[in-house]
Chain A
Amino acid sequence: MAKLETKIHNIVLKNPVMTASGTFGYGEEFADFINLSRLGGIIVKGTTGERRQGNPYPRMAETPAGMLNAVGLQNVGVATFCKEVYPRIKDIDTNILVNVSGSSIEEYCSVAEQIDELDNIPGIELNISCPNVKKGGMGFGTNPEMAAQVVSEVRKVYHKTLIVKLTPNVTSVVDIAKAVEQAGADSVSLINTMLGMAIDVERQRPYLSTITGGLSGPCVKPVAVRMVWQVAHAVQIPVVGLGGISCAADALEFLMAGAKAIEVGTANFLDPAVTVKIVDGLQDYCQRHHIDDINDIIGII
């Protein structure tokens, strides 16, 4: 058996496979299908200061090899998360990370501060890249100064592992990654969804109530691998790769491009057991290629 353990700052992952925020609920939704403790980590739904209803229906459209979504951070809010959700999931034997979202620096800080109190949450993923909210979100993640500012403010109040999730909707993702590294991020994850749009020509209307939405799925994978590779060569902090991963070979592309861990997103919708298949597939690959430690292939490209 090859060693699959990897590390993101202070977080030890039993394997590099995590789940992407917004595609795995709070993990519980998948407990019928897989043993959650076989995952390296679960990144739960984007959590904001207050409960949010998200955008009006329709919020999803299937596109070639992908899908657009415009959910818009529907979530129960941080107080309900801490009081009701956290006790239900805190003893799952994996790393439970919370995706922290907001519309203002104050909101990001307040959510991060409250999550900091939760013993069994070893880190957060700061979402400065959601394309589906009018205020904040991607607005912070598309400008290096703004990105650095929000990260440095959150850094002051959050004491555990701080991963910052980056948007691909920028000219230079490397500039943003460097800026957040400098501002105190412990890791970066990328990519969030790509801003996209689809039109129902029969009805002569956009498919989404918000007109534009976030594109995910296999169609974004080559863009994501390229960005992970660029960022992994430009920063010292560990990179978490995601974007269209649906099998072990996809995950390996990201690892070879320099990601220390990966997140599986849209593929969870197609096969709710895909994550453990990827874990098994990584083990098989290592055996086939006589690799003792998965870290030996991380960043080889």
Chain B
Amino acid sequence: MKHITDFVIENRTQLGEQYFSLTLRHPGQLPPIAAGQFVEVEVRHCREVLLRRPISIHDVDAERNTLTLLIQIVGKGTRQLSELKVGEELNLVYPLGHGFSVEGKRPLLVGGGAGIAPLFHLAKCYQAKGVVPTILLGGRTKELIPVRDAFGQYGKVCYATEDGSLGEKGLVTQHTAFAGDYDQICTCGPTPMMKAVGRYALEKGIPCEVSLENMMACGIGACLCCVCDTDEGHKCVCKEGPVFDVRRLTKWLEATK
């Protein structure tokens, strides 16, 4: 069941220059939210922004009825959202899309940049099932990995940075932990990274889910704007995804764009 609700901003944290997080309190009881699902956020008071912005759900606290969004400032909409203050309301359409399956016994979670956002809730869901995931986070520099230490409570965390400022120097796919023994890989981040991870998993026969981020309008499968060219044809990332099994995406994995 999807909802439209005015949440109240309970906390705002700046995470380096490009990122911030908003913790939002539901006025009543928060419905169940799967890891990998997202919200469509209304952007008020910005004449250049018409559409809602799709933002993945970073954390959920069912007891406190709060959810947290981790947002990268990339354009006018997210810049406007970055100016919101504690106590202000934020209207969400949520929870949207199809999340991660949380079925691995030895899962690897691979995140890059803002793509680490949904992996936090995912790691927490794994912990709730008594599974300790390996969490591999990457970025060009340490600063571009917006959340680091907090992951430590839910899994074994490793880092890969291109400049070597944190963890091993290089890409996530070059990290020693990447080639470990896993029965499930979940990834979210820049497209080239997800494709590299997806191709590797497909080649090794490891079940793998990727979370795609396409430009969206409605977020609920009505406008058909956000399609991915899957092996079964164009599918809405907002409704059939954002999380897809890579076995449905072999065409997408091969495409250079």
A residues at B contact (CB < 8 Å): 22-25, 29-30, 32-33, 45, 53-54, 56-62, 64-67, 69, 71, 74, 217-218, 266, 268-273
Name B192-236 residues within 8 Å CB distance of A: 214-229, 233-234
One of B3, B47, B52 near A270 (C-beta < 8 A): B52
The reply to whether the CB of B93 lies closer than 8 angstroms to some CB of chain A is yes
Contact present for B50 and A53 (CB under 8 Å): no
Contact present for A60 and B226 (CB under 8 Å): yes
Chain A, Cβ-Cβ closest to B2: A32
B54: min CB distance to chain A, Å: 11
Contact A25/B221 with A62-B50, A269-B51 known, Cβ cut-off 8 Å:
yes
Kindly state the separation between the CA atoms of A71 and B234 in the bound complex, as whole angstroms: 11
Kindly state the separation between the CA atoms of A57 and B239 in the bound complex, as whole angstroms: 16
Give every chain A residue within 8 A of B177 (Cβ-Cβ).
none
Specify which of A65, A217, A270 lies most central, judged by the most chain B CB atoms within 10 Å of its CB: A270
Provide a sorted-by-A list of 10 A–B residue pairs whose CB atoms are within 8 angstroms: A32-B2, A33-B3, A57-B226, A59-B225, A60-B217, A67-B50, A74-B224, A217-B50, A266-B50, A268-B218
The reply to whether the CB of B162 lies closer than 8 angstroms to some CB of chain A is no
Contact present for A57 and B51 (CB under 8 Å): no
The reply to whether the CB of B1 lies closer than 8 angstroms to some CB of chain A is yes
Contact present for A53 and B1 (CB under 8 Å): no
Name B159-192 residues within 8 Å CB distance of A: none
Contact present for B218 and A269 (CB under 8 Å): yes
Give every chain A residue within 8 A of B225 (Cβ-Cβ).
59-60, 69, 71
Kindly state the separation between the CA atoms of A53 and B220 in the bound complex, as whole angstroms: 18
Give every chain A residue within 8 A of B50 (Cβ-Cβ).
62, 65-67, 217-218, 266, 270
Give every chain A residue within 8 A of B245 (Cβ-Cβ).
none
Kindly state the separation between the CA atoms of A269 and B52 in the bound complex, as whole angstroms: 8
| B1-22 interface code vs A (CB 8 A; 1 in, 0 out) | 1111000000000000000000
Kindly state the separation between the CA atoms of A146 and B150 in the bound complex, as whole angstroms: 65
Kindly state the separation between the CA atoms of A71 and B93 in the bound complex, as whole angstroms: 23
B124: min CB distance to chain A, Å: 26
Give every chain B residue within 8 A of A74 (Cβ-Cβ).
224, 227, 234
Q: Specify the main secondary structure of chain A where it touches its partner.
A: loop
Contact A29/B221 with A54-B234, A66-B50, A270-B42 known, Cβ cut-off 8 Å:
yes
Specify which of B49, B216, B227 lies most central, judged by the most chain A CB atoms within 10 Å of its CB: B227
B169: min CB distance to chain A, Å: 29
Give every chain A residue within 8 A of B63 (Cβ-Cβ).
none
B92: min CB distance to chain A, Å: 12
Give every chain B residue within 8 A of A56 (Cβ-Cβ).
229
Kindly state the separation between the CA atoms of A58 and B213 in the bound complex, as whole angstroms: 12
Kindly state the separation between the CA atoms of A237 and B223 in the bound complex, as whole angstroms: 30
Kindly state the separation between the CA atoms of A21 and B42 in the bound complex, as whole angstroms: 23
Chain A, Cβ-Cβ closest to B218: A269
Closest A-B pairs by Cβ, 8 of them: A60-B225, A25-B222, A269-B218, A32-B2, A269-B217, A29-B222, A71-B224, A29-B220
Kindly state the separation between the CA atoms of A301 and B2 in the bound complex, as whole angstroms: 41
Kindly state the separation between the CA atoms of A25 and B228 in the bound complex, as whole angstroms: 18
Contact present for B223 and A23 (CB under 8 Å): yes
Contact present for A67 and B229 (CB under 8 Å): no
Kindly state the separation between the CA atoms of A56 and B42 in the bound complex, as whole angstroms: 27
Give every chain A residue within 8 A of B217 (Cβ-Cβ).
60, 67, 69, 266, 269
Contact A54/B227 with A32-B2, A269-B52 known, Cβ cut-off 8 Å:
yes
Give every chain A residue within 8 A of B4 (Cβ-Cβ).
33, 271-273
B238: min CB distance to chain A, Å: 10
Specify which of B49, B215, B228 lies most central, judged by the most chain A CB atoms within 10 Å of its CB: B215
Kindly state the separation between the CA atoms of A11 and B147 in the bound complex, as whole angstroms: 57
The reply to whether the CB of B48 lies closer than 8 angstroms to some CB of chain A is yes
